[in-house]
Amino acid sequence: MSEKLLAVLLVLVVVVGFVPGVATAQAGGAERVGGLVEVAEGETHAGDLSAVGGTVLIAGTVTGDVEATGGSIVVAATGVVEGDLSAVGGSVLVEGTVDGDAGVSAGSILVREGASVGGTLEAAAGSVRMDGQVAGDARLAGETVTVGPTATIGGDLLYDADTAAIAPGASIAGAVRAEAGVVDFGPEVAPPAVPRGVGAVYGLLANLVLGAALLVVVPRFSRAVTGVGTKEALRSGGVGFLALVGVPIALVLVAVTIVGIPLSLAGLVAFALLLWVAFVYGSLVAGTWLLSFVDREGRWLALVTGLVAVALVGLVPFAGGVVRFLVLLVGLGAFVLAVRGVRSDDEGRIVVGTGEDESAAV
């Protein structure tokens, strides 16, 4: 099993080198479902930057808003967001500068010492920690809310938490009070428009290259993932959602310590690459399911059918984004379940499941 996972990692290295700049090629990196969207140090991205189910890593400058649904946002120490920063269902790590407002819901947020938010900070998360600077009000809600000694808040500090800790050294210009329902907002993160034209074609080709590499390098494991996804789609989707939300939160918790920052950033990049693999596997599952209606089989035909079908459906506003997100969840969950359930039988074949709940050997 470890050899197969190593093979997947090698495939990622080869594919990333073969199709450089996939994120930026799709509408300038402005809109993406799954995978890694990066604004490198020294780079300036004009306009808004959006992502669904992926990771946004900002080390350069974004002149517009940054929005993410179901993923993670990292604003590095060199990163600058000239607009607002919003996230739903993911995690936010701010080490740089956000000129506008910052808001996160249903995830985690960490504003490090040296980071700054030029507007209002609104956070509703399981864990909220504030060590940086906020020019306006800070409205924090979660199971735990921590305001560190280096925190500076130019307005009021309003919090609603099971456990709250405000260090004596924190500088707060306005009122400080606990208030139930202090964060009554839903960050308006609109589903990103699906890239069209050249960006869409480039993205499809990149996904086809990755899918082909996976089928060639790890054919048995790919069949195992497809088997799990088609036979247990609902369970796969549930496991995928838990992984999509849980892994970024765990990585942010790792990043709380100085020693954990490099490990956390490396983990975010690895997780983003895993999301790309998961999306391709989810499309393969979708293609297999579609071919079953016409009594056709074949992994290559299923790969092409799934990727093309998902790409076409993805052109439909909103509904397309939802479908792509569901495909990502099923692919991610099937990958996780396959990793946990794959074993070799006496003949060296891969078998998915244990006990009575076994699929056929592949």
- Residues 64-108 have pLDDT tens digits of 988 876 567 788 999 999 999 887 656 778 899 999 998 887 667
- pLDDT tens digits, 334-355: 999 988 875 544 444 445 443 3
Residues 50-60, mean pLDDT to the nearest whole number: 74
Band (53; pLDDT cuts 50, 70, 90): low
- Whether 213 and 142 share a structural domain: no
Let me know whether 211 and 354 are in one domain: yes
Selected residue with higher pLDDT from 324 and 7: 324
Q: Are residues 135 and 262 in the same domain?
A: no
pLDDT above 60: residue 21 = no
**Residue 331 and residue 233 share a domain:** yes
| The pLDDT of residue 13 | 44
Instruction: Judge if 257 and 116 occupy the same domain.
Output: no
Residue 301 has pLDDT above 50, yes or no: yes
Containing structural domain, residue 264: 197-358
Task: Tell me how many domains the chain contains.
Answer: 2
Ranking 41-55, 255-269, 282-296 by mean pLDDT, the lowest is 255-269
Q: How confident is the model at residue 316 (pLDDT cuts 50, 70, 90)?
A: confident
Instruction: Assess whether 174 and 201 both reside in one domain.
Output: no
Which region among 137-141, 236-240, 347-351 has the lowest average model confidence (pLDDT)?
347-351
Say yes or no: 117 and 203 in one domain: no
pTM to 2 decimals?
A: 0.49
Chosen domain end from 129, 149, 178: 178
pLDDT attached to residue 260:
63
Same domain for 214 and 157 = no
* pLDDT of res. 259: 58
Are 312 and 351 in the same domain? yes
How far from 316 is each of 307, 313, 324, CA to CA, in Å?
A: 15, 6, 11
Mean pLDDT score, 249-255: 78
Note the pLDDT tens digit of each residue in 157-180.
999 988 899 999 999 999 999 988
CA–CA separation, 155 vs 269, rounded Å?
35
Residues 332 and 224 in one domain: yes
Q: Give tens-digit pLDDT for 99-121.
A: 999 888 766 788 999 999 999 99
The more confidently predicted of residues 146 and 17 is 146
Is residue 18 included in any domain, yes or no? no
Flag whether pLDDT at 52 surpasses 50: yes
Given this model, what pLDDT does residue 15 score? 42
Q: Do 50 and 159 fall into the same domain?
A: yes
Calculate the average pLDDT of the chain.
Answer: 78
**Shared domain check, 207 and 170:** no
Which of these three, 178, 213, 245, is where a domain ends? 178
